[in-house]
Structures are given as structure tokens and as C-alpha cells.
Homo-oligomer: A and B are copies of this chain.
Amino acid sequence: MSYSQLFSQRATAIKSSVIREILKVTANPDVISFAGGLPAPESFPVAQMKAAFDKVLVTDAQSALQYSTTDGYAPLREWVASRMSTDGATITPDQVIIVSGSQQALDLIGKVFIDEGDTVLVETPTYLGALQAFSLFAPKFVSVASDEQGLDASQLTAEDAQAAKFLYALPNFQNPTGRMMSEERRAKLVEVARANDLLVVEDDPYGALWYQAAPPASLLSRMPERVIHMGSFSKVLAPGLRLGYIVAPVEIARKFEQAKQATDLHTSTIAQRVVYEVVKDGFLDEHIPSIRTLYHGQAQVMLEALSEHMPNGVVWNVPAGGMFLWVTLPDGLNAEKLLEKAVARNVAYVPGTPFYANVAQDNTLRLAFVTVPAEKIRHGVAQLAQIFGE
């Protein structure tokens, strides 16, 4: 039987990634990998998680193992609403949908908003997982100019802003660049969104992971009536549970609920119960500072190694939080081609190309630094510096 002729156009359009193939070798423990996007496992609060699983399974197992509602566990939705309200706007629990990780939020956003050919505005570059999720619904991506200060809404034409279903942005320590959108850029985006009646998706998995100062107020707090805010427990607790949330205007939240029912009925009951147990009495406020300290230290090691080893012409940003930084090689160097050389020397990174929705800058790459021991960061960066210098 020939299967491929039965595939939908969207499925046929999904290509195997060359980069993914190259990076498969990085599972080898000899490889120093700056490619992964994993949080540091030593930051997972194992004791608290275990205590919460114990408590839920001892006190209310039958309910925690049963089907539950599509919108999510009510106490957890209340907790999210309350936490999101501290920032300025008042968020109610009926604006919150619990999802099976942020990637599911992207899928639901694609389902609920994108018809084939619709305009979606994205940063330059932007999160690859969002491009993958949205692409299944065949939008037309328009890349909005972005730099060290983040997305620059003043570069967005009124025509594109008015045509777009939404603008997708990661204001805090963006994946892939580690950039943070400045106060001025946030204010400008709010102004442009209001002037053009533009809906904004604010993806914020890393916002709590600042190093020395909290980022400017969220887009949600500035214009809750036109922001869909995505949050996640993956980077502040643990990703293996697959738990995140969407905050949106009520009418949109109800549409997400309907789409989610058709997509996976609901998110794991026990995962929601356990995470609620862990977070309900303020644990995150004790826990997150230790992640900040860990990640800041890791960033420092990588920044020092880059300064020490990289040849002239290679530039990078100094992230104020998160798990990534962005390297730009001299014009003419191709980070995808150089990856093969790097992997041959047992060092890996992700080339920048796949993070661009339209024209790619192929001399860019993403370095992830939170899971690699300091000594290996230094050695790996030295190796990369040699390759880039050759």
C-alpha cells in the first residue's frame, strides 16, 4: 500500500530536519552539546514533587486518576489567575486554560486562529517550535524586524499589522536569542497593537529566570484585552510533566477549551493536582531564585569563555536571563555547514537558520548553556573558536 499519497498537504509539507539528523549524534555522552533546550535537571524539586505525588495518591487517588474537565483543575486555574493578576491586570479563573505544555498552546492557537494563507507576525528570529506548530495550519509568516532590544514594532507596517491574525512574541529571554524586549519596545508594541487592533500572543516560559533584575511588565498586564499569554511549569518546576497554561480574554479562552476538547480531552489530572500541591503555598518564590543563581553562573562561564577564545568578528549578546545566547559569525560563514565540523570535534550547537520564518541569516547560531558543566563549556567554546577562526 502506498501511504504517502494519503497524507494531507500539511503532513506532506513537514520535512525531516537536516539539523535534527546531525544532532542525533549529540546523544553520545562524549559530545559537548550546546544544542539542547533542556533545563538543568538538578534544578528539579524532586523532594517536593515526590511529597506532592504521595499526598495526592494517599488522600484522593481515585479522583486524581479519573478523567477531568477540559479547562483544567479549578484550584490550579485560580492559582494561575491570582499569580498573573499581581502584575497589574486583573485575571479571572475563567480566562485560564491548563494545557499539556506550551507546545500545545501553540497548536491550539494555530487551530483557533489560522486559516490557510492568514498573516502571522513573528520576531526575527523566533521560536522554532512555534513555526512548526503554526505551519501545520499554513499561515503566511511576516517577520518583524528585531534586534538586541527585541521586536521593533515601529518597523511593522500598518498594512501587515491590520492584516494579521496575531503577532507572536517572546518578550523575555527569547528562544533562540536570549534577548529581552526593552521597556521602550514594549510600550511601542502596545501603541502599535492598539492603533491597528492587533492581537498579541505573549509566550513567556523564561520570564521568571532573570539574573539580576526582573524584566519590564508583561504585555498581558499592559493590554489584557488583546493579549494571549502562554506560561509553563517546564522551566520553573520540571518539563517531564507537560504542564502549561494560557491566559486569554474569556471569549477566546472558551474557543481554546472547545478546541482542546477535540485535541486531547484534558491535561493529565494527576499532573495538575500534583503541581497545584507543589505551588499553592508559595514554593516557587523560594525555589526560583536558586534556578536564577544557577543559570546566571552558567551564563557567566560561557560569556567568559567566549570573550577568551572567540576570534575577532564573532559577536554575541549578553543575556539578562534564561538559557540561551545568540552568536553571529562574520559574513560569509555558514553556521549550518560549520556544524558538521563542530560535531566531528564532539561539540554541538543549533544553527540559526531554522529559527527564521522568512529570509535566514545563516551566519547565526544558538548556544544553550545551563546543562553543561563549566569545564566542558570552556573546552567546547575553545573548540568552536578554533573552527570559526579557521
Partner of A46, one of B61, B239, B242: B61
The segment from A76-84, A168-176, A177-185, A266-274 found at the interface with B is: A266-274
Residue with the greatest number of chain B CB neighbours at <10 A, chosen from A37, A57, A129, A264: A264
Determine whether A334 belongs to the interface, using a CB cutoff of 8 Å to chain B: no
Chain A, interface size: which category? Answer: 35 or more
B50 near A57 with CB under 8 A, answer yes
B61 near A50 with CB under 8 A, answer yes
Within the complex, the shortest CB–CB distance from A263 to chain B, in Å, comes to 5
Within the complex, the shortest CB–CB distance from A35 to chain B, in Å, comes to 13
- With contacts A66-B239, A101-B265, A104-B264 taken as known, whether A1 is within 8 angstroms of B197 at the C-beta atoms is yes
Residues of B within 8 Å of A14, CB to CB, are 255, 258-259, 262
B49 near A57 with CB under 8 A, answer yes
Partner of A42, one of B62, B225, B240, B269: B62
Within the complex, the shortest CB–CB distance from A155 to chain B, in Å, comes to 23
Determine whether A241 belongs to the interface, using a CB cutoff of 8 Å to chain B: yes
A1 near B225 with CB under 8 A, answer yes
A65 near B241 with CB under 8 A, answer yes
- With contacts A6-B199, A104-B263, A111-B11 taken as known, whether A46 is within 8 angstroms of B42 at the C-beta atoms is no
Instruction: Please report which residues of chain A, range 149-206, place their CB below 8 angstroms from some CB of chain B when the two chains form the complex.
Output: 165-166, 197, 199
Determine whether A28 belongs to the interface, using a CB cutoff of 8 Å to chain B: no
Residues of B within 8 Å of A118, CB to CB, are 8
**6 closest pairs, A vs B, by CB?**
A240-B269, A65-B238, A41-B62, A65-B240, A132-B262, A46-B61
A-B contact pairs, 9 of them (CB 8 A): A11-B112, A11-B255, A14-B255, A46-B57, A50-B54, A101-B265, A107-B263, A132-B261, A240-B270
Enumerate chain A interface residues (CB-CB to B < 8 A).
1, 3-4, 6-11, 14, 16, 37-39, 41-42, 44, 46, 49-50, 53-54, 57-58, 61-68, 100-101, 103-104, 106-107, 111-115, 118, 129, 132-133, 135-137, 165-166, 197, 199, 225-226, 234, 238-242, 249, 251-252, 255, 258-259, 261-271
